[in-house]
Structures are given as structure tokens and as C-alpha cells.
Amino acid sequence: MSNKAVLHTVLAVILFTLIAFFQNCGLHSVVDSKSRESKPVSEKKVLYFGYYGGAVNGLGTGNYMSEFADHTNVVWVRGVDVPDTVAKLQEAKQRGLKVILYVNEQFFDFPATPILIAESSRRWKQLADHLPPFRETIVAFYPVDEPYMHAEQKGVDITYMKSYLELVGSTLKASFPEIAVATIFSHPEITKGYRPPFNYEWLGIDCYGPFLNCGGHSIPDLYEKLKLLKYSNQKLIVIPEAYLHGTSVSESELASRIDAYLAYSEKEPEVVGIFPFLYKGATGVSGVGDLPAIKERFRQFWRRINSTGKPTIQ
């Protein structure tokens, strides 16, 4: 057995032991016969809407809240450091926006490796100590994007990656049990049948292409596959394609794809959030904030779902 394999085996044993400890402490309960599941965050049907990357360091100015606060109820936040994160949380709270908070830098060193960093406990505590004033503002933590794809790319066994994700979920729940944990999978992660971590409540799929033939599957078909893989308490988040890159798709075609995503989201009862990718700031990409007609499309959607009594934050 190679040194790498031995290391992964030792890490897996440690992780499984820790997860078992958290389970025995009652941080989640058995809710069906398929597997252990975390307690649902809410029994109410809610609909959250906000742009992926709306206030995230590394994307443009790192904060576009002022540009979309009039037609969203959620902002995605990641700061340069803890003080910057707290400042963004405070701004979101003042604007009446809920927050999906990135915590990837507290637990992982992407893109270098999807393995948990040794100092994750210290990094998490440094941030977590500042979060109690925002318990009513943060609706979800976001530890990692496309986890199994990253694991495959770096030669990390999928079973170990799932264990890392579940340990992160248990760590977050130990501090803030009422706040959801979310992740988004690439479409191959779904078609390969990889099960989500049991203690993540919000699950999404990213697939950028024709709505009815994205990676060889329609978007509804991909979500049906995810529904077969997920646990019964887990809900869906939808990630509409909302950017232009080069000449691969016209703005009118993009608008048609967006309309299809929004129609699906309104019909599918398990959808709790719609988070178009992305707002603005990626190099060489025109996001919603760069496309006035697309932005107005989302603004009109927001107005309509509120005027017709569709569920929003309760």
C-alpha cells in the first residue's frame, strides 16, 4: 500500500470516528429507513432568490449588494478575511437580505486539494465567534462547490470526500444547528450516482447549456436523478445559467434558458432557492449585472412572484 493510500485510510478512520461521535451526541436524528438525516431546518415552504457570487471576494469589486437589493432576498457572501466578512454580513442585515455564507476557506484549500486542512478547527472558530449576531441573517453555509468533481481531479476517493463533507456539516451544525448547509454538484456528479452528504439540507446542480439537453440530459431530468439520490429532508436549489461568455450563446437564447429554469422552479415543490450564476465580476464573462435586459427579466420575475402571493421569506 502506498504512503498516499495509508494516509487516506488513516484520515478516513479518524473522520468516521468523529462523525460517529457527533451522531451519538444527538446532532441529527434518524428520520427514515434509508439513512441518518439531519433535522429539517424549517417545515415552511420558502423561496429564496439571489445571485450566485453577489458579494464574494475575487469577483469584481467583491460586493454588488447595492445593485440588486431591490429585487432579491438573499446575497452570497465571502470576505477577504473575517473583518471583511463581518462587514458584509452587517450590510446584508441592514438591507434586509438573508445570506448564504461561503466557509470553504475555513475547511479546504481549493483548488490545491479537496482534503480537509489541518487547521480547520482554528479557522472555523475564528469566524464562528463573530457569527452569533447574524443567526437570523444567515440562511445557509456553503462549504464547497462541486465536491466530488474536485475529489476525482485530485485523486481523492469519493467515499473519503463524502466523509470530509459530513464532518464539515457536523462541525457547522454543532455551532449553528438551525442554519442549513448547502452545496452544488456538477452534472457528472449526479449522473455518476454519487450520494450527497446526509447533513446538507440544500442541494443544487450546475449545468450550463440547453435546458433540454445539457450534458446529454434535460435540467428536470438531472434534478429527478438528484431526488432519487438525496435524503427525504433535503431540498433543491436551482442555478439558472445567467451569463455570456464569448459567442457560444446569444442573449435571446440565454433569456429562453432562464425562462425555462424559472418555470421549472415555480412548478417543482422541493425547490427552496433560485440562484442565477452569476451576477458580475468574472474575467471575460458578462453576468446579470452586465446585461440590463437579463437583469430586468429577473426583476420582473421577482415582482411577479411577490405580487401573486408566491412564498418568500417567512
Where are the domains positioned within the chain?
A: 3-307
Lookup result for grid cell 478516513: 12
141 class by beta-carbon count within 10 Å (0-12 exposed, 13-18 middle, 19+ buried):
buried
Q: Which residues of the chain fall short of a pLDDT of 50?
A: 1-10, 12-13, 16-17, 19-45, 309-314
Is the domain covering 3-307 a CATH 3.20.20.70 domain? Answer: yes
Bridge partners of 89? none
Give me the pLDDT at residue 36, please.
35
Average pLDDT, the chain: 87
Q: pLDDT tens, 255-293?
A: 999 999 999 999 999 999 999 999 999 999 999 999 999
- pTM value is 0.86
Q: pLDDT tens, 294-303?
A: 999 999 999 9
Ordered DSSP codes for 73-90:
SEEEEE-SSHHHHHHHHH
CB hemisphere CA count around 145 (13 angstroms)? 11
